[in-house]
Chains A and B, each alone.
Chain A
């Protein structure tokens, strides 16, 4: 366990000391501020636009961090051979990958929390205390969806180059919001094809489960069951993806 935490701490430290992260968070804050500029043209829906675009920016932040930091996480260490430093210690490859995931998830959680606090403050200022519950829940669910994305980033990073990892991760991110539609299409497709599409829709990460934007727009809280389910799903999905990464990485030759 100490090895996992050590790798996680190291990953977090590396990401935090990378100036790119600060640029991304800074951009996110700027985007949040700029969204207030849209208020006059939103025909009375300025508050809703600010909160919704703020949450969208938070969501984008996650995928940007994954693309910039996460997709090269393992590959960079393989290229530079710094992984030899870690794996020549009594650390299993599985522990290493889990540690990397934990570190990346922690990094994203901190970035999201930083922006989330700002967003919450803005939301409370605009809409009052009723905004606390919905916005906090939305930010929490975004952090959970980032855990899923982080697991995918670790998987692809241990298998492929950073460029391809970005492509794969972004592709799954995009399809993750279309899983409901895929199931609807599958229902009207003939036999085996429909079953295949339906099966694929469950393999894709169901990112819609973590999307509270519609409710937040109406200042509605999510049911507790959704929060619990989202947490369970995020952990289970991330564990499954990391297990796949372990299978792929276990016998990899570290030249």
Chain B
């Protein structure tokens, strides 16, 4: 089931321009550098070791949106927590904005929206954001001003002075987003930011992420919702059961298969294609004819033939493999999309512990 990645629909201002993603400018220092990072959890009673994250490595260049993708239990949240110093890693190292991860300094200029955030019931959103700003090193005045600004930005102005114990899940998510943005971070970690939001809210988050990206903020976006990642991310890393399955730009990951194309033609009669275009699918749709090419390399030739035979070409849309297709390929054998067959547990005795360090 090939999904059509229609750039057209994403653009509200230029209805008929085919946009090709331009090359990313990468600075010399990555915003996030992860090398051989891994985490084992030891059961306190049985002393059995469960490896949540094996040795993973990836880099997040500054100024882009990076997707950390994987099904439930893949190790995404564990990875984020290691980067933020909430969990000490068992092996490997990482850095955030050039500073070693896990130290308080590394969290300067960093914002974090946890998954299903819980905040302080007794505080209002404004108070909570002021608190967050002070924790980020701001003084009270600027923190208060920025809190008011962000409360507007995330659509919580109407409930800014209501205690958060009365907030809905969506409102908490918005408050969490505002909290992550306090202190104007250069690096933002968003763990399932769309969780609990209605379609309008999700759209607003998408717009916000794009806005932040335009301002040069690096965003690491963790999700198991493929569509969100596909819409927003430039680069992705795909985890499965604590192991890195794939990493790279979306274009790179989704290329490699012969991609097709779709041409929409205004119908003025039947479109009879010559034999050299054998294999092209023809479909009449509401006053238009849709031509589907299995190989996009022949698209320009077909457009030229159509134009020369008096057919008006409305649009040319390249088709490419979707992220979902890639997912299905990587997780072949999974019982369901998004499911993940359990890796056999690596159970080591205490004596083998040293080999993990």
Contact = CB atoms under 8 A, between A and B. Distances in A.
A pairs with B: yes
Interface string B99-121: 00000111110101010011110
Contact of B117 (A9, A85, A87): A85
Given A6-B134, A13-B123, A82-B119, A88 B114 contact: yes
Contact of B107 (A2, A5, A82, A88): A88
A88 B110 contact: yes
Interface string A45-67: 00000000000000000000000
B137 interface: yes
A91 interface: yes
B316 to A, nearest CB: 46
B114 A85 contact: yes
A254 interface: yes
A13 B117 contact: no
A85 B179 contact: yes
Interface in A1-33: 2-3, 5-7, 9-10, 13-14, 17-18
A193 B84 CA distance: 48
B114 to A, nearest CB: 5
Interface of B: 41, 81, 84-88, 104-108, 110, 112, 114, 117-120, 122-123, 127, 131-132, 134-137, 139, 179
A90 B134 contact: no
B136 A82 contact: no
Contacts of B118: 80-82
Contact of A81 (B41, B88, B114, B131): B114
A255 interface: yes
B108 A90 contact: yes
B174 to A, nearest CB: 15
5 contacts: A10-B131, A14-B123, A85-B114, A87-B85, A88-B86
Q: Please give me the 8 A-B residue pairs with the lowest Cβ-Cβ distance, nearest first.
A: A6-B134, A89-B135, A88-B112, A254-B86, A17-B122, A90-B107, A90-B108, A90-B104
A14 B128 CA distance: 11
A6 B123 contact: no
B122 A13 contact: yes
Q: Of residues B134, B136, B139, B179, which shows the largest number of chain A Cβ atoms within 10 Å of its Cβ?
A: B134
Contacts of A91: 104, 107, 135
Interface in A125-140: none
B133 to A, nearest CB: 9
Nearest to B176: A85
A7 B136 CA distance: 12
B135 A6 contact: yes
A3 B104 CA distance: 11
Interface string A83-108: 01111111110010000000000000
A2 B139 contact: yes
A218 interface: no
A10 B127 CA distance: 9
A82 B122 CA distance: 12
Contact of B81 (A7, A251, A254): A254
A57 to B, nearest CB: 27
B135 A86 contact: yes
B105 to A, nearest CB: 6
Contacts of A89: 107, 132, 135-136
Nearest to B107: A90
Nearest to B84: A88
A251 B89 CA distance: 10
B247 to A, nearest CB: 24
Contacts of B112: 84, 88
Given A88-B84, A255-B81, 4 more contacts: A14-B120, A82-B120, A88-B85, A90-B135
A92 B104 CA distance: 6
B244 to A, nearest CB: 22
Contacts of A3: 134-135, 137
A251 to B, nearest CB: 6
Interface in A209-243: none
A87 B86 contact: yes
Nearest to B39: A253
A17 B119 CA distance: 15
Contacts of B108: 90
A90 B134 CA distance: 10
Contacts of B117: 81, 85
A84 B114 contact: yes
Contacts of A254: 81, 86-87
A89 B181 CA distance: 11
Contacts of A13: 122-123, 127
Contact of B120 (A6, A10, A87, A251): A10
A6 B108 CA distance: 16
B150 to A, nearest CB: 15
Contacts of A82: 118-120
A91 B136 CA distance: 8
Nearest to A92: B104
